[in-house]
Amino acid sequence: MSARIGVLALQGDTREHLAALHEAGAEAVTVRRRGELESVDALVIPGGESTTMSLLLRELDLLDPLRARLADGMPAYGSCAGMILLATEILDAGAAGRQADPLKAIDITVRRNAFGRQVDSFEGDIDFTGLDGSVHAVFIRAPWVERVGPDVEILATAAGHPVAVRQGPVLATAFHPEITGDRRVHKLFVDSL
């Protein structure tokens, strides 16, 4: 029986991640409530706006249960804002009272909007360890990794900074593979479960 993967459906590319996971051979469901979080084996945290997602996690009483599941070893994949939230430390986390809350699932320090504002968004092909051929990466107000812990594997870089990392059962990308039609990153995550 395949793992049941939840997609955090508070904001962002929920539908696109669900489609990518289905195409990668997984059972994928939305997660908006605590009971739904408890019913999945793994979780995808999509892109979106990390401070808004943190606010919603707090308001829906999902922040602490999600941190607990991740601390217990639940596999997770985060793209863009998902990478930001999975980090142990977030630089430029937002204004007081409206900050992105790190879930501390992967030993990295990320910088929000590191590549610039919306008008600075870009795409390009990057090499990705473990995948054949390059990956077409779409960076939208993307973060980058400024520090990696000793147990973190760097899978891809752009502009001299890590943009795809993995530590144990947690995978994170600064870009959005869910919108390109290339399902290899999602398949990599699904196959790791």
- Residues involved in catalysis: 80, 176, 178
Q: Was 39 annotated as part of a binding site?
A: no
Q: Was 112 annotated as part of a binding site?
A: yes
Beta pairing partners, 165: 154, 172
Backbone angles phi, psi at 120, to 5 degrees: -95, 5
Q: Was 79 annotated as part of a binding site?
A: no
Q: Was 140 annotated as part of a binding site?
A: yes
Amino acid in the structure at residue 152: V
| Helix, strand, coil share of the chain (percent; to 5) | 30, 30, 40
Burial of 77 from C-beta contacts in 10 A (0-12 / 13-18 / 19+): buried
Q: Was 32 annotated as part of a binding site?
A: no
Q: Where are the alpha helices (DSSP H) in 60-192?
A: 63-71, 81-86, 184-191
Q: Was 49 annotated as part of a binding site?
A: yes
Mention every residue, 6+ apart, whose C-beta is less than 8 A from residue 46.
7, 8, 11, 12, 13, 14, 16, 17, 78, 79, 80, 81, 82, 178
- Residues annotated within the binding site for L-glutamine are 48-50, 112, 140-141
- Residues annotated within the binding site are 48-50, 112, 140-141
